Structure 1
């Protein structure tokens, strides 16, 4: 099996995925064998007090991970994420970029559906923080990211083309609507599992209040004062300086297209930016597809 699944979208643009055979993940060039990736992740050993932060790409996962890590550590110090022995993204870890050792609790990050998470998640009842964001802003945020990165991660088509592809079939991790409904089903099927659904829009509206709820869920007992301090540290404009400066991966020349600054990993982090991108026709098209694909869903979103 080849490392990447290489396809063409209906406009002739190159589209590449990490070729696991079951779920189309982001094509990270340092992963040599995607056919074995899911089995390796399923075998990852977890500390009982580990935390998994998960959500569809560009849903506020890194922001949430940033804050959850600080809560767990009880500090406002910068939480490194992509170090060679502190690589916290499950799909991107390998023999050279290792997960942190098992001797103390960690906050790990993934975009995988529940059924592909490590077995220890279920066996040890590891806490899961599930991040959701309104799909219109997800479309825009993912496009803005993929238009700035190089092969094999980048996408060279236009925004209208990307919109069509996302609406019709999805991209990394598949169709966003299927992803949301799959997680909704899994949460319903595991009523005894500690899963906290974290809404990006709610977090933006009342970040400290949502942090206090996360503090309670994680049983970290940090209190409002530290929650406030963490929120102040985790403003998007400050995260450009914290994680970008502390993690060399954000600066790697293989990642960004020429002329793209290394702080482009974090963009606006705002609610309703889709209105600056969607045409009236696109919005009507989205709403029609949304009403069909999300029929029966109990998940509601704030779009502005």
Structure 2
């Protein structure tokens, strides 16, 4: 969809379904492609923290944990604004009329240090300045099946993304990497390799669900923060799925009115491990597993699909 056409459609968000373009072979939304040069030249600062994930792998959850750590467990401070405003989404660009318009790049550039920035970019597309400045990066990976199901429902409710089609069709697109931000397989493997060369804390969604305290302590150590047991417990409680689901500053009910239809599927849907079993047929699962085995044969990465 052409950008000028998109501006016209911003008054009727129900009609917006943005097309995919490509950046170095990775599917991206056309508005992002249109400003790619600026994104690539983004100037990171040494004290920037980057939170990187494949979409729907626990990004907002990690952002909330990090914000609560940075604010020393002060719940009110963490509700100073929505997640989208607190942590600029680097490559997200929506050239529409307010309140739908958004430029993560502009928001990040205007923000005082220290900044926490979010991205879904695969490792090879991260602006070089993040490596040059030796920034800390937290990466969260989620098992492919749950990630796929969550991503499918997100496409259904978010009119700013391409139409997902049926689940069967979406599974096919996911397996072939023909989805926004590209191949899940390349994404998780690329970041896994990079962690040995850079300051990257690589976390797993399943571990976070199983033992949030242990994983939050890893983040604390990585961010060189020391908090009391009382503050740690407050962070665990306030970043639980149940609490976040009801938090308008984290559940996306305040952002982009009309673009996200929470009646189709809430942004905070289930947050479970193993929910894929409610969606995959036996045949789909068999086909997926065979393909997965081939694509993941060249990595030491291991995921759990149930707890």
1:232 aligns with 2:237: yes
- The 1:48–1:202 alpha-carbon spacing in structure 2 relative to 1, beyond 3 Å, is same
Extract unaligned runs of 5+ from structure 2. 5-16, 94-102
Distance in 2 (CA, whole Å) between partners of 1:227 and 1:120 is 33
Distance 1:249 1:120 in 2: 32
Aligned to 2:298: 296
Q: Answer whether contact 1:53 1:109 (CA < 8 A) is retained.
A: yes
Give per-residue Cα distances to partners, 1:107-163, cap 9 Å, x unaligned: 21101122322333112211000100100101100011111222x414251112211
Instruction: Give the one of 199, 202, 217 matched to 2:207.
Output: 202
Deviation of 1:242 (Å) = 1.9
Match of 2:27 in 1: 24
Preserved contact between residue 252 and residue 267 of structure 2 (Cα < 8 Å) = no
Shift of 1:81: 2.2
1:20-99 superposed matches below 5 A: 20=23, 22-26=25-29, 31=31, 34-37=33-36, 39-77=37-75, 78=78, 80-83=82-85, 86=86, 88-92=88-92, 94=103, 98-99=107-108
CA contact (8 A) 1:87 1:100 kept: no
Distance across 2 between alignment mates of 1:109 and 1:43? 16
CA RMSD, Structure 1 to Structure 2 (Å): 2.8
TM-score (norm 1): 0.82
Query: Which residue of 2 is the match for residue 135 of structure 1?
Result: 144
Q: Take 1:90 and 1:202, find their aligned partners in 2: how far apart are those partners? A: 26
SS for the counterpart of 1:296 is: coil
Question: Does 1 or 2 have the higher relative contact order (CA < 8 Å, sep 6+)?
Answer: 2
Distance 1:245 1:66 in 2: 8
Name the structure 1 match of 2:188.
180
Contact 1:21 1:35 in 2 (8 A): no
Q: CA deviation at 1:256?
A: 2.3
Structure 1 pair 168/247, CA: closer, same or farther in 2 (3 Å)? closer
Q: Deviations over 1:215-255 (max 9, x none)?
A: 00011222433222112111222222324578665351133
Secondary structure of the residue aligned to 2:19 is strand
Structure 1: where are the runs of 5+ without partners?
5-13
SS of the equivalent of 1:89 reads coil
Residue-pair matches, total: 281
Q: Conserved in 2, the CA contact under 8 Å of 1:20 and 1:34?
A: yes
* Residues 162-217 of structure 1: per-residue CA shift (max 9 Å, x gap): 112212334111121122222223334x2xx2100011100111101110111000
Q: For residues 234-293 of structure 1, what are the alpha-carbon distances to aligned partners after superposition, in whole Å with 9 as ceiling and x for unaligned?
A: 122222232457866535113328x447xx111111111011111111111111001101
What's the CA shift for 1:19?
4.5
**Kept after mapping to 2: 8 A contact 1:52/1:110:** yes
Within the candidate set 216, 222, 225, 2:221 is matched to 216
Judged with a 3 Å threshold, the aligned counterparts in structure 2 of structure 1 residues 247 and 279 are, in CA distance, closer, same or farther, namely closer
Alignment check: 8 A CA contact 2:164 2:170 kept: no
